[in-house]
């Protein structure tokens, strides 16, 4: 897929323990983005953060079982992101979703996949 230079970044902030039908929510979001034909998705695991309830979530050794922050980032054309938003809305119960314009400099992949 070729991305135009102007695109959008969809950023989804959720917790590591968030589930959708018993499965990790971040995995479900990535799978649905792939199924929807979006350009790509990346999941980032935070080591420290807090959300709306102001409770600190940390990866410190004594608190390994805490619900760490997860961020799913998806970049694609604005129309493609807009098509995905209703699906995303059905998946997320709690969290934060942001959208911003980005300028794509390079988007390449190997043809050997």
Asked if the structure places residue 8 within a domain, the reply is no
CATH number at residue 51: 3.30.70.120
Model confidence band, residue 68 (pLDDT cutoffs 50, 70, 90)? confident
- For the chain, the domain total comes to 1
Structural domain that includes position 92 = 18-103
- pLDDT at residue number 57: 66
DSSP state of 35: H
Instruction: State the pTM of this model.
Output: 0.84
Q: CB under 8 Å to 4, separation ≥6 — which residues? A: 77, 104
What is the sign of the dihedral through the CA atoms of 113, 7, 26 and 20? negative
**Cα separation of 66 and 60, whole Å?**
9
Asked if the structure places residue 6 within a domain, the reply is no
Asked if the structure places residue 110 within a domain, the reply is no
H helices present in 1-113, as ranges: 25-35, 78-91
Per residue in 6-45, pLDDT (tens digit) is 899 999 999 999 999 999 999 999 999 999 999 999 999 9
Asked if the structure places residue 91 within a domain, the reply is yes
Under 8 Å between Cβ of 14 and 25: yes
């Amino acid at each position: 897929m070729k991305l135009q230079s102007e695109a959008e970044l969809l950023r989804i902030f959720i917790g590591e323990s968030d589930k959708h039908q018993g499965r990790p929510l971040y995995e479900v979001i990535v799978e649905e983005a792939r199924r929807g034909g979006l350009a790509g998705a990346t999941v980032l695991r935070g080591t420290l953060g807090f959300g709306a309830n102001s409770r600190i979530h940390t990866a410190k050794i004594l608190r390994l079982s805490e619900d760490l922050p997860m961020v799913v980032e998806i970049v694609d054309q604005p129309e493609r992101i807009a098509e995905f938003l209703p699906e995303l809305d059905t998946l997320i119960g709690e969290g934060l979703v942001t959208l911003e314009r980005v300028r794509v400099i390079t988007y390449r992949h190997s043809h050997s996949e």
